[in-house]
Amino acid sequence: MLDIKFIRENKDLLKEVFKNKGSKIDIDYLISLDEKRRNFISKIDTLKSEQNRLKKDEIEKAKKIKIEIKNLQKELGNVIKEYNNLMLLVPNIYSSDTPIGEDEKSNKEIYRYGEIPKFNFQIKNHIQLGKELDLIDFEAGVKTSGFRGYYLKNEAALISLALMWHCFFKMAQKGFMPMIPPTMLKEFALIGSGHFPFFKEEVYQIVSSKEILKEEDGEAIYLAGTSEPSLLAYFSNKILNENDLPIKICGFSQCYRSEVGSYGKDVKGLYRLHEFMKVEQVVLCKNSIKESDKWLEEMKNISCEILKELELPFRVIQICSGDMGAGKYKMYDIETWMPSYNCYRETHSDSNLTDWQSRRLNIKYKDKNGEKKFVYCLNNTVIASPRILIAILENFQQKDGSIRVPKVLQKYIGIDVIKKKNNERG
Range of the domain at 281: 104-418
Question: Of 55, 87, 119, which marks where a domain is finished?
Answer: 87
pLDDT score at 219? 74
Give a yes or no: residue 246 inside a domain.
yes
Question: Of 52, 87, 122, which marks where a domain is finished?
Answer: 87
Per-residue b or e along 304-330, where b marks 16 or more CB atoms closer than 10 Å to that residue's CB: bebbeebebbbbbbbbbbbbbbbbbbb
C-alpha–C-alpha distance, residues 78 and 86, integer Å: 13
Q: Note the helical H segments in 280-406.
A: 289-309, 356-361, 387-395
Q: Is the model more confident about 158 or about 56?
A: 158
The domain total for the chain is 2
Cα dist. 155→30, 167, 272 in Å?
A: 55, 18, 21
For 382, counting Cβ atoms within 10 Å of its Cβ (0-12 exposed, 13-18 middle, 19+ buried), the class is buried
Active site residues: 257, 272, 346, 349, 387
pLDDT bin (cut points 50, 70, 90) of residue 176 is very high
Same domain, 246 and 278: yes
pLDDT at 229 over 60: yes
Strand partners of residue 316: 111, 334
Looking at 221-225, 264-268, 415-419, which range is the least confident one? Answer: 264-268
The string of pLDDT tens digits covering residues 129-157 is 999 999 999 999 999 999 999 999 999 99
Give a yes or no: residue 145 inside a domain.
yes
Residue 166 burial (CB count, 10 A): 20
Query: Mean pLDDT across the chain, nearest whole number?
Result: 94
The string of pLDDT tens digits covering residues 368-383 is 999 999 999 999 999 9
Give a yes or no: residue 232 inside a domain.
yes
Question: Of 33, 58, 87, which marks where a domain is finished?
Answer: 87
pLDDT at 263 over 70: no
Chain-centroid distance, C-alpha 178: 18
pLDDT bin (cut points 50, 70, 90) of residue 424 is very low
pLDDT score at 426? 43
Same domain, 385 and 249: yes
pLDDT bin (cut points 50, 70, 90) of residue 220 is confident
Across the range 78-99, mean pLDDT stands at 97
pLDDT score at 259? 81
Same domain, 148 and 246: yes
pTM of the predicted model, to two decimals? 0.93
C-alpha–C-alpha distance, residues 51 and 61, integer Å: 9
Element counts in the chain: helices (H) and strands (E): 13, 17
The string of pLDDT tens digits covering residues 306-344 is 999 999 999 999 999 999 999 999 999 999 999 999 999
Tell me, what DSSP letter sits at residue 90? Answer: P
